[in-house]
Every structure is written in C-alpha cells, then in structure tokens.
Amino acid sequence: MKKMLKNKKIDKKRIPKQVLTAGFFTTVYILYLTFRIKPILVISNSMARYAPQGSIVFIMKSTTYRIGDVITFKFKNVSSNLITHRVKNIKEIGDVKLLYTKGDSNSFNDPIPVSEDEIIGKVFLVVPYVGKIVSLIFIPWVLYILYYVPAGFCFGSLFSAKKRGDSGL
C-alpha cells in the first residue's frame, strides 16, 4: 500500500486550480455566513437591461431602501416566486413603509406595494448569463452525463479493485 502511494505522482499543474476552486467556494460560504449574501437566479426578462434572464444577482439585507434601488422580494400571500424589481416610489403610512416597484422592461408598475418585511435584500452585484450555465447542470440528462455516469465508473472501479485485493488507488 505504501509503495503504491509513494509511486503515485501528483499532477502539480492541477493543484493551483483545485486550490483556487476550493478557495472560491470557501469565500462564497464565508461571505454568506458573515454578511448573509445570497445568490439568486434571474428567470424572467422584467429587468433585462439591468439583469438579463439567466443572470445571477447577489443580494444582501439592508436597513435602508431608496428610490432607484433594485430589490428582491417575496409577497407573503400572493406569490411563491421571488421578484427582483426597481423601487420607483416610497410611501410611509404611519410606521409602515411601502415600496412601489417596477421591472425596468415592464410598461407598468407592480400593482401591489412591497412592505419592508417582504424584502429579501438589495441587489449589489449582477453577473450576467452565468445562471444559464448553472441551470444547465440541473437538467436531468446533463446531470446524468456529468455526474451519474462518472460516479458509476468510480464506484465500479473501487468495487472491482476490492475484489482483486487492491486498495483502489
């Protein structure tokens, strides 16, 4: 066993890529834990000029919202979808602040105002079209080809190696 591990060569060219990939995902996770930053996939064209369909927007909870901010919200009793639109007007009724929103590509304002407790966060970063690539991964046949087939080969080689008495390494 030790001989096999000793003779196994490590591809030193792949190490920086693996470290960068691990570092990227670790950074995203730490940002989420620390600042509660959330990535959201844009699935409509209502904000096409700002965030085209297939973009990923990063949102963070804020204490203040102004006219012109792009926010992501979810109506409590109307819809189960997240909506990302621009704040067009703000009205205060007593101690309740209502935000009136509109998609940049829509010709009409949203019919229902958004209360502050329905806001998920304010958009601070848009990464155009990356979401299309990410969403492709979850199509069943793509998932089958990219994940299940290679996983089957890996597990198959491990089991066949155990039958032969190898460690599989």
Residue 1, pLDDT score = 46
The CATH number assigned to the domain with range 11-157 reads 2.10.109.10
Contacts for 134-139: CB closer than 8 Å, 24+ residues apart = 134/41, 134/56, 135/41, 135/54
Residue 5, pLDDT score = 47
CB 58 within 8 A of CB 121: no
Residue 162, pLDDT score = 58
pLDDT tens for each residue of the chain, 169 residues long: 455 445 555 555 656 666 777 777 788 778 778 878 888 889 899 999 999 999 989 999 999 999 999 999 998 877 678 999 999 999 999 999 999 999 999 999 999 999 999 999 999 999 998 877 777 766 777 767 777 777 777 777 666 655 655 554 5
Q: What is the pTM of this model?
A: 0.65
Q: What ranges do the domains of the chain cover?
A: 11-157
